[in-house]
Amino acid sequence: MLPPVTGVRLAAVEAGLKYKGRRDLSIMVFDQPAQVAGVFTRSKCASAPVDWCRTHISKGVARAMVVNAGNANAFTGQKGVSAVEKTASAAANAVGCPLDQVFLASTGVIGEPLDVARFCDLLGELAKTAVEDNWAAMADAIMTTDTYAKLATRSFDIKGDTFTINGIAKGSGMIAPDMATMLSFIVTDLPVSAECLQSLLSKYVKTTYNAVTVDSDTSTSDTVLVFATGCGGPGDFLPIFDVSDPRLEVFSEHLADLMQDLALQIVRDGEGASKLIKITVEGARNDVAAATIAKSIANSPLVKTAIAGEDANWGRVVMAIGKAGEEADRDRLSIWFGDVRVALDGARDPGYSEDGAMAVMKKQEIEIRVDLDLDQGSATVWTCDLTHDYIAINADYRS
């Protein structure tokens, strides 16, 4: 259970868009204007709600956030734009704010027109009934193929004043480079400007959401928003406007930690996943090259299926390194599965023990480490294995 964050009220309801018997429409209401920052998909075919958010995020002020699950309102043409405008208008009326202080996210099937009439009527009542102590309801309502709700909270002190950060997330298509959609919403009561939030979000998204959601930058709808209600702390707390303000440090740490927590919750719930895989590449020419190689391993269906089968098939790791296109010297490579070094100087480790490697592969969390022995570049990414259940989930998701 998450504690409340002063300044944000939440509510969720069953709108019956796609799912029956579960809540699929939710709202966050900020009675006082909140500061907001966001990062979005880099897809060339972004959804209508992403376009909307991107247009308004630079103003940095939010009064409401509306999310629906079951329909992504992506690739829906002019109808999609109109659906977004109608939803924003209904939400703006409900909370009494300008249109550009409403943020929107939709997740679910792509290409089906979204009939917003059904839920525009619900938003007024939803905004009224929203309460602070209701994070679990919203975390439930934003799910699609997720098997559990994803929530995290952190609290921290600044000179004796205690503040809170809450976050929720959804996403389960993680296992594929073209995951369905990752959404995450984070709220703190710290008085901090949108500019500071954006700076921290943009920095930490690289090593958290973007390090687990391999190629998540390319889905149509990925959205991470961070809100600051500013309602926490004593009345005389001076709001933080400057990224060099030393008070930001402790918030940064806890924000990064919470983002990491949510990101790993997503990857653990990867569609059909049975194991969490951590891939660390060291000794690359630079950090970008290391990340490219780590993602090449993480994205390889042959690596993922081998791990599902508990097979210490490090030859497939070599193959994935080779295909990444970054500099690698076959004869300097070393590879570890857990604490078992399987390859050394470009060949099987002379002390390789199949039993030792087998024991590692039986675990729920598998760590693969690669040392390229070229330079100082390093990166870590997380993924999950590729199982029969992934096929079962995705072969009939739409129907």
Q: Which residues are catalytic?
A: 181
Q: Which amino acid is residue 157, in one-letter code? A: D
**Cα–Cα distance for residue pair 119/130, rounded to 1 Å:** 15
In the shown chain, the binding pattern of residues 236 to 275 toward a second copy, with x for contact by CB under 8 A and - for none, equals ----------------------------------------
Q: How far is the CB of 383 from a second copy (least distance, A)?
A: 12
Q: Which of 79-85's residues contact partners 24+ apart within 8 Å by CB, and which partners?
A: 79/113, 79/114, 80/47, 80/48, 80/113, 80/114, 81/48, 81/51, 83/48, 83/113, 83/114, 83/115, 83/116, 84/48, 84/49, 84/51, 84/52
Distances (CA, A) of 397 to 144, 379, 390: 10, 33, 11
Within positions 186 to 205, which residues make up the interface with a second copy, using CB under 8 A? none
Q: How far is the CB of 22 from a second copy (least distance, A)?
A: 21
Q: How far is the CB of 287 from a second copy (least distance, A)?
A: 18
Q: Which amino acid is residue 86, in one-letter code? A: K
Within positions 282 to 321, which residues make up the interface with a second copy, using CB under 8 A? 299-303, 305-306, 308-309, 311, 313-316, 318-321
Residue 395 in contact with a second copy, rule: CB under 8 A: yes
Figure out which of the listed residues 153, 346, 359, 373 binds a second copy, where binding follows CB under 8 A. 346
Residue 348 in contact with a second copy, rule: CB under 8 A: yes
**Cα–Cα distance for residue pair 69/50, rounded to 1 Å:** 14
Nearer to a second copy, 255 or 324 (CB): 324
Within positions 21 to 80, which residues make up the interface with a second copy, using CB under 8 A? 41, 43-46, 72, 74-80
Binding piece for a second copy, criterion CB under 8 A, among 56-64, 93-101, 183-191, 338-346: 338-346
Both structure tokens of 209: 């959401």
Contact call for residues 26 and 138 (beta carbons, < 8 A):
yes
Q: How far is the CB of 349 from a second copy (least distance, A)?
A: 10
Grouping H, G, I as helix, E, B as strand and the rest as coil, residue 82 is helix
In the shown chain, the binding pattern of residues 143 to 182 toward a second copy, with x for contact by CB under 8 A and - for none, equals ------------------------------x-xxxxxx--
**Cα–Cα distance for residue pair 31/345, rounded to 1 Å:** 61
